[in-house]
Amino acid sequence: MATCWRLGACSLLVALWLLHCCSCGWSETTRTNGVAKGETKEQELMSHERVKRGWVWNQFFVVEEYTGTEPLYVGKIQDVLDSVKPTLCEMCMPPISGPPTKNIHTDSDEGEGNIKYTISGEGAGTIFIIDELTGDIHATERLDREEQSYYTLRAQARDRLTNHLLESESEFVIKVQDINDSEPKFLEGPYIGSVGELSQIGTSVMKVTASDADDPTYGSSARVVYSVLDGERFFTVDRQTGLIRTAVADLDREKQDRYELVVKATDMAGQMGGLSGSTTVTIVITDVNDNPPRFPQKMYQFSMSEGAAVGTPVGRVIATDADMGENTDMSYLIKDEEGGELFKVTTDSDTQEAIITIKKALDFESKRTHNVVVEAVNKHVDPRFSELGSFRDQTIVRVSVNDIDEPPVFHPAEGTILEVQEDARLGALVGTVTAKDPDTENAPVRYSIDQSTDQEQIFHIDPVSGAITLGNILDRETAGWHNITVMAVEADNVSQISHSSVSIRILDVNDNPPELATPYEASICEDAKPGQLIHSISVVDRDEPQLGHRYYFTLAPEATNNRHFTLWDVKDNTAGIRTQRSGFNRHEQNVYLLPILVVDSGPPALSSTGTLTIHVCGCDPEGTIQSCNATAYAISASLSPGALIALLVCMLILIVLVLLILTLKRHRKGQSMSEDEEDMRDNVIKYNDEGGGEQDTQAYDMSTLRNLFDFPETKGSSSESGPELRTLPQWIQGRMSGDGEAADFSLFKGYIRKKVEQTDGDLSVPPYDSFQTYAFEGNSSPALSLSSIHTLSTTSDQDFSYLSDWGPRFRQLAGYYAPGHPEEDGS
């Protein structure tokens, strides 16, 4: 009864003061904010007054990995009556704070079963179930915190009869409480580290890390410590950080280049009952240059022919190095001086082998065996290991020289230079070349000259002694040097041949006289003063004496009485010409010839005479020569610019007039040529009569040929006959006048008329008049055949003596057919 009264009173209060809830909520909000903004102490105390709320809740906890057969109890949602009577404002405001409780309460529940409790959210109805009457929550499945650490759900309180919400939903969390059920795991494996060999103790190698899925904030389930299970002799691991370090200082890659280390991680800080996990760590020992190169043998033997060319490989040797990579890079060198002169060693960058090659030609006769000391040295030496010893090694390479048949060797080998005088006689000795067989047999040698180097055969050589003699006259001025090639072969083996160059210098002999250098002419002014230098002369000489040239100048004997000019020897191989008087007159004499004698210093002294031509010229006051001709006169060059322009204009007008006249003449000539061509095309006459020969002047009417425009008509022709026939040959006219009967040309007229009609109808014929030639002889001819073949094939007694009267052209034919005349044969 008391419960009903309380419910009724509460409902009445809610109904009366419903409109005041908003204002009370505003007052509550203001009070809460006022505390945040530093309000008065009284207001702050009012804000901490206990306020009635609809839901009071906290987190639920459930242990993971529950293995019981019954559902695990989580918590309870129930109705709790607060001992403090709530005010209307407390009923309207949401809870601000409150002490944590085990259960979730609703103010509407009075324990009479009118409330139905439900939950929703993660796992509601599957993992978590609730008793609708009591509000008890149970977990029906085994939970794993490592999969999901908490679940968020919402609680509802509904009227069992109307199913209406009595309170708004409230969200709560069920946290899964951790237990130590996960062992540490190395997730970053497999682990591979490296450390240099011979590293100091405690050198850091690498770090390993294990992860534990348990809750690190709850207990020691996730606290992991590390230890070494296998390999602790060589390496250690930091218990807290998992850092691996070296435990010894004698790690040698050449003995063992990798180690397998087993590291264990244990949770619960290593206490009893803790779980553990392990991983394998591979540690690779890296190489350092701590091993010197070593030759597997202390001596290597090779053989090589003495004729091998320079650069030929003798052999290969290699030094081994226990290191690897660039620490095995090495270089080779030859230590002994003798071996360094004959041999050279290089390093093959790919195989690290020493390649020994020939540096200088080998000679079996000089030395048959060579011992070469080859040393191998590391390129990259680590100074930290210098106390281990020298990083180099040596070996001996013995090279045996094999004998072969070699060609003769010239002495000197680089060639010979000989000298011979230019005037040497034929057969004179120029010099001697020497070659020797280097073999032990010392076979005799025969000499010859390569003809391609001495095509003129200027030199000869003795095949046995090698003496070179002169075979032709020399001329140093033509060729100062002669380069020939001498060949030497073994007398018993001509395949062994060698060559040597011989340079022959031709020594100069004074055989060319000096000559005056050009120019050989000089000029003086008419008013030249006495003693004036008018010309300097020099000399050329094809000879080249060893002591140099020295020339002497004098006037030739025929000019010793010369009173006009003097010669001055300057003593430097030149001379000067000076005037001896003044007052030259070019109209009296404009040219003087001065013979000069030049002598060289020999020996023997040679001389030549050259003539210097001196012209007397007219000069201006400044001494500039104007004219050197006797009849010439000076023309003033001081023309004004206007006069020059006028002169140029006149010349241009003359050129234009000449071009115009030439153009008019060419135009008239072209017109006359066109008229002549047209006239010739209309007046073409052809005569097929041959006549009686060169002496027959009566066969043609020459007047017809001389007058092309006068064509008398042929008698008896009619206008109906088509084209008119022009002048006929005289023998036809004679027949017509003799017989008194007109010749019948109707056959030819008809033929020509027919051809004219065909030509007029032919579109391909040119539109102007053209000359047509027709080969038509008629039906028959009264003349007999003159064929020599036909005549010889018959037995006719016809007399052909008349052929002799036809002129010189038929004389040969008359000789074949006419009877011979004895008097002519006799003559």
Give the pLDDT confidence of 5-60 residue by residue, as tens digits: 333 433 433 343 443 333 333 333 333 333 333 333 334 333 334 444 444 456 78
Instruction: Name the band, by pLDDT with cuts 50, 70 and 90, for residue 280.
Output: very high
**DSSP-derived secondary structure for 107-133:** TT--SSS-EEEEEEETTBTTTEEE-TT
Which DSSP letter does residue 197 get?
A: T
Average pLDDT over residues 224-233: 91
The region that residue 722 occupies, defined by phi over 0 for left and psi between -120 and 50 for alpha, beta otherwise, is: left
pLDDT for 146-160, tens place per residue?
888 889 999 998 888
Instruction: Name the band, by pLDDT with cuts 50, 70 and 90, for residue 748.
Output: confident
Nearest to 285 by CA among 206, 384, 194: 194
pLDDT for 397-437, tens place per residue?
999 999 888 889 999 888 899 999 999 999 999 999 999 98
Instruction: Name the residue with tokens 């425009």.
Output: 709
Tokens coding 778:
């008629």
**DSSP-derived secondary structure for 313-377:** EEEEEE-B-SS-GGGG-EEEEE-SHHHHHHEEEEE-TTT-EEEEEESS---TTT-SEEEEEEEEE
C-alpha distances in Å from residue 307, one per residue of 232, 269, 301: 67, 84, 19
Q: What distance in Å separates the CA atoms of residue 354 and residue 374, rounded to the nearest whole number?
A: 9
Could you tell me how far CA 772 lies from the centroid of its own chain?
74
Angle at 31 between CA 28 and CA 33, to 5 degrees: 110
Mean of per-residue pLDDT scores for the chain:
77
Q: Is the pLDDT of residue 782 over 80?
A: no
pLDDT for 478-536, tens place per residue?
899 999 999 999 988 888 899 999 999 999 898 889 998 877 889 999 888 898 998 99
Which DSSP letter does residue 344 get?
A: E
pLDDT for 45-78, tens place per residue?
333 344 444 444 567 888 888 878 888 888 887 5
Percent of the chain with pLDDT over 70: 73
Q: What distance in Å separates the CA atoms of residue 338 and residue 354, rounded to the nearest whole number?
A: 18
CB 75 within 8 A of CB 100: no
Sign of the alpha-carbon torsion through 147, 150, 152, 153:
positive
